[in-house]
Structure 1
Amino acid sequence: MTSYVREEPDTYNGVSAPQYNVLSYTWGNFLDPTEIAISVNGVDWPIPAIRKGHFTADTFKTAIARAASGVRYRCDWLWVDIACIPQKHENETEMARDLRGQEIGRQVDIFRRAQEAFAWLSHMKTSELCGSQPFINIEDFLDYANQGVSIRGAEDANSYLNMCENKFRLFETWMSKFLSHPWLSSLWTLQEMILRQDAWVLFDDGLFVLYHGDKVTPWTFSQIKTDVYCLRSISKGRHIEILENAEDVAVSGNFKSHKGCANRMRKRFEKLLEVQILKGLDASKVTIPNTAYSAARHRNATELVDRIFGIVQIYEISCNPDPAGEDETAKLHALEDEFGAKLIAKSSLLSQIFIHSSEEPPRRTWLITQKCIVDNFWESVFLSENIVNELGSLKFLDETRNIQLHGKAWYLDTFFESKDDHLFKSYPGSPEQYLGLMLDYHISKEVLGQVVDYFDGRENMLQAVQRLHKYYGKPSRIALLGSGSEPRLPVVTYVGLVLAPLDNIKGNAEWIRIGLVRWIEIYTTDHSPPHYHLPGYSDFQCVIT
């Protein structure tokens, strides 16, 4: 294998813009200088040697050859990080350090432009996932589970439930093994997975191929995401009612052991779904990268600053490769602040679509960190065709590290006086218990005495608003952030930022962010004014700490 340095603008060894594939794998936590590293010509940095139990030079060569051969596109060129990004070493030059920063900053472009992407799960074979048993897709399970509507008696119900258990166990077994691979624990591979959700999954014995009906195709992460959606649907009770009906029929006969089996199976589905979500397998595409940024806290990074470097490329944002700070924590904080400021400049709406998930107050209330949560509600805004940034302005203040907001706002208590039932109701694709107000966890814990993800009723939400008013002594505000809608549909999804006042300091009103409000307006005519369900808003300006 030979590596060629990029010549401007995009030429390698005299070839302009060559077509190439890309290989994603994990190795940073498996270094072993006593092992033999793969040989690469054309580099002036040491190629890292990897622990034999993770992969050998020979298995690495095999994976490289397989990725280069492609599935639909065979390429003479392959992008592999250790051969294309200068690795750190004692005698490296300043030019090499600059080149490393440039190449890391080009990750989005590199992965997007690749003909095909491959995710190599080294030291694991497909044959190890399920042994001699057949692979069962979640679709296979659901196809069979939905046949339960034709059950006629206890014997049928018993056979049906036993087969459901067997199919689910097979799916659960191989999926759990798949989820345990280190590739799904690395922070850098999370970014690469988001950039290329069409990446083929490659094991040591080749591509992972699944069968469903007449479909025979190698597996990609887009298909895995479909599995996540199916599991989420089951966890919310869909399809389970068929199992529950079969359970009742079986138990009414002589098969008492099936009592509670549907609920037990649902809990196992929920447990599997929880692991998939922790691994970031439900993270959205680059359209709303906050889901990936949230998932990053569950991934491993070799260095603390990689918490930023290893994920911000999906935002198409580059940060200072040498941040200021006396230690790793200070450097991380400097990077977080830099990233937050650049995200505000890029998209003020995106910069605030999150909830602080820690019960401890954050360093800066406005700043998104990896201790945040982002659920699937936000896709209804960011995957819409018509996304509108409703803020007048959101500006980062260098001297204080605060931000200045200007826009439309309501008083928090009068905002919730609306009697329109559509504003805060659940709808398809949103959390089942959705009601408008979402408080940052540290605020919810401090003011309400407990963390509340979703309010389970309008009255409870109104009581929380009253307690917020009493706690801060002055009325809080809702600043309109943005909206999303689809053409020809009379439904608009809105998001607002909830702000609480601090004591005035020399006449400068400072505020803190305490959460979000989200609501849905359904319009009866094309001439309905925006927010006609709500009281009038006012012009608002403040500094958020």
Structure 2
Amino acid sequence: MPDFDDDCAWPRRLLHVPSMTSMQWAPGNYYGNDRAPKYIAISYTWAFDNPGEPVPQINYVWLDVACIDQTRGSAEMSLEVGRQAKIFKGATHTFAWLTKLSRQGYLSQIEKLQQQAKSSRAEAKSGIERVQRGLDGTRQEIELLSLDPWFSSLWTLQEAYLCPQTVFISRQGELMSPSEIDNPAERPMLLSDFIDYCDHMMTIVTSHEKKPQTIETNDKYLLALKRSIERSGMTGLRSSLPVTLLGAARHRTTTRATDRVYGIMQIFGFQLGKSRPGCDPHVEFSLAELEDELGRELLIREPIMSQMHIFEIPPQPGKRWRISQDSQPTRRLNYGDGKSVFDAMSVKAKLSTVTLECVNWGHFSGKICKFSKLVEIWNTKAGWTGGNIDLDGPEQWTAVHGPELARKEAIAFSQQHPDAVLLLLGLAEITAPPNDWSMPS
């Protein structure tokens, strides 16, 4: 392809719909005779079967199967995979192609579920049963959409993160709408609507977990709804922090093991492995090598965020320093407005890696302090607002809210873990008076 610059914001190819021809980019951002044409991007999985035409009256479409060289080992394929963020963000609109749902079928099933839920709650014999039936009805509504194959792919999770205003279209290419009364042309169903709905329902789940009233925290209907929301990946999309998608990524499928990194690296803005400009496309990288590369890039660009994760199972030797598919984001990342959690923080440590006997190890250079010593200092100050203690493995600590509970939890933790050492990654700017201290997270 003549003089194509990988830093260019345009795709290497666009599908010209009237002629169904894959047009190559040319200098000046020409595709055929059209200069810098508007285009839409379509996000889909390979699960569709004879889907028909996409949204009509569009001259140019970006569709990976038509716009990326599918030859195995192709340099163009590797490089375009690393440019997904530019391609999707440059599209006028992005559409998510649901391959199992028709518009009318979805609306009919939603109406049926809502009527069933209403009748079921009315027939409930107790307040507990009424809440349980409401939770179960909500789960079925969420799964009606989230069990479509589009929600199973790691690649589409990345595309959803890049384009939350994605519009849902049915298997026939019809615009989806939230209800019968909504005109899909005026009020189409957006991915962001579904994200907000799932986030709202997760807030309700969390409130039941924190303060059990009507039902217990281990209620099977509550847990089933929570699992459905987590599998959908929608709560991670609510935050602007890419690390929050790690939990959802574990529930997504990939064709190749290495897609565990290639299929999510663009949410961090990275071009890794074969997608790096100048890399030999015939060189193969293992998943472990790609995860190390992803981890190193995060250490450099986002040192604090790079460590905001925990392991539920013990990682391999030399892998604890980096995120992986076995990581879960810390609870602190689910609070606040995305990246603003770190906006007021200044980095106070240098993170890097060293290689010893062919194993990469994380290296920390900065200030450290015993947790028990810090608790002594906190214990002499008033005004604690709370914090979180997140640990690797099965040991669970509650989210700490309120001065007295924060004090008790911190003291108890320091007593149970007298040798615990804190590594100072960053500090927030203090704007409150010196006598108004708050417990950092």
Scaled to the shorter chain, the TM-score interval is: 0.7 to 0.9
Q: Return the letter of the residue paired with 2:297.
A: K
- Counterpart for residue 440 of structure 1: 392
Q: 1:6 aligns with which of 4, 17, 25?
A: 25
Aligned residues of 1:195 and 1:286 also touching (Cα < 8 A): no
Say whether 1:283 aligns with 2:277. no
Q: CA deviation at 1:21?
A: 0.6
Residue among 184, 187, 191 paired with 2:158: 191
Structure 1's 436 and 128: CA in aligned 2 closer, same or farther, altered over 3 A?
A: same
Which residue identity lines up with residue 147 of structure 2 in the other structure?
A: S
Spell out the pairing of 1:295-444 with structure 2 (5 A cutoff): 295-321=248-274, 331-360=286-315, 363-375=318-330, 377-378=332-333, 379-380=335-336, 382-384=339-341, 386-397=343-354, 401-417=360-376, 418-419=378-379, 420=381, 422-423=383-384, 425=386, 435-441=387-393
Change (3 A) 1:156 1:278: closer
| CA drift at 1:286 | 7.5
Letter in 2 for 1:340: G
Query: Residues of 1 paired with 2:320 and 2:304: CA distance?
Result: 15
The offset of 1:269, in angstroms, is: 4.5
Seen in structure 2, the aligned counterparts of structure 1 residues 524 and 316 have a Cα distance that, compared at 3 Å, is: closer
Does the CA-based 8 Å contact 2:107-2:179 persist in structure 1?
no
Distance 1:286 1:5, change over 3 A: farther
User: Secondary structure of 2:192's match?
Assistant: helix
Alpha carbons of structure 1 residues 285 and 375: separation in structure 2 relative to 1, 3 Å:
same
Q: Report the residue type matching 1:440 in the other structure.
A: D
Assess, with a 3 A threshold, how the Cα gap between structure 1 residues 421 and 236 changes in structure 2: closer, same or farther: farther
Which residue in the other structure is 1:462 paired with?
411
TM-score by length of 2: 0.76
Q: Which residue of the other structure, out of 480, 501, 522, is the alignment partner of 2:424?
A: 480
Q: How does 1:31-430 map to 2 (within 5 A)?
A: 54-56=48-50, 59=51, 61-62=52-53, 64=54, 66=55, 69=57, 75-89=58-72, 97-129=74-106, 131=108, 134=111, 171-205=138-172, 206-211=174-179, 217-237=187-207, 267-284=220-237, 287-321=240-274, 331-360=286-315, 363-375=318-330, 377-378=332-333, 379-380=335-336, 382-384=339-341, 386-397=343-354, 401-417=360-376, 418-419=378-379, 420=381, 422-423=383-384, 425=386
Deviations 1:506-538 (A, max 9, x none): xxxxxxxxxxxxxxxxx643xx39x96689xxx
Which deviates more from structure 2 when the two are superposed, residues 351-360 or residues 396-405?
A: 396-405
Paired amino acid for 1:411: K
Cα separation, 1, equivalents of 2:181 and 2:61: 34
TM-score by length of 1: 0.63
Q: Which structure 1 segments of 5+ residues have no match? A: 31-53, 70-74, 149-154, 245-261, 426-434, 442-449, 470-474, 486-491, 493-522, 536-545
* Contact 1:286 1:315 (8 Å CA) reproduced: no
SS in structure 2 of the partner of residue 397 of structure 1 = strand
Q: What is the DSSP-based 3-state SS (H/G/I as helix, E as strand, rest coil) of the residue aligned with 1:18?
A: coil
Return the alpha-carbon distance in structure 2 between the equivalents of residues 350 and 315 of structure 1: 11
Higher RCO (C-alpha under 8 Å, 6+ residues apart): 2
Once the two structures are TM-superposed, the CA of residue 459 in structure 1 deviates from its matched residue by 4.2
Q: What amino acid sits opposite 1:17 in the alignment?
A: A
State the shift of 1:414 in Å: 0.5
Report the 3-state secondary structure (helix = DSSP H, G, I; strand = E; otherwise coil) of the residue aligned with 2:111: coil
Distance 1:385 1:104 in 2: 29
Q: 1:164 to 1:355 in 2, by over 3 A?
A: closer
RMSD (Å) for aligned C-alpha atoms: 4.2
Report the secondary structure of 1:5's partner residue.
strand
Give 1:268 deviation, angstroms: 2.5
Number of equivalences: 401
Between structure 1 and structure 2, the one with the greater Rg is 1
Q: 1: distance between equivalents of 2:274 and 2:243?
A: 22
> How many angstroms apart in 1 are the aligned matches of 2:384 and 2:352?
30
Aligned in 2, Cα 1:3/1:234: closer, same or farther, shift over 3 Å?
same
For 2:30 and 2:183, the matched residues in 1 are separated by: 40
Paired with 2:109 and 2:320, the residues of 1 have a C-alpha distance of 53
Residue 213 of structure 1, CA deviation: 9.2
TM-superposition CA deviations, 1:474-524 (whole Å, max 9, x none): x44322223568xxxxxx7xxxxxxxxxxxxxxxxxxxxxxxxxxxxxx64
Distance 1:13 1:164, change over 3 A: same
Q: Is the 8 A contact 1:20 1:78 kept in 2?
A: yes
CA distance in 2, matches of 1:480, 1:106: 35
Give the AA of the match of 2:60: W
Deviation, structure 1 residue 273: 2.9
Distance 1:125 1:174, change over 3 A: farther
Deviations 1:252-299 (A, max 9, x none): xxxxxxxxxx66997524422321212211113683101113321111
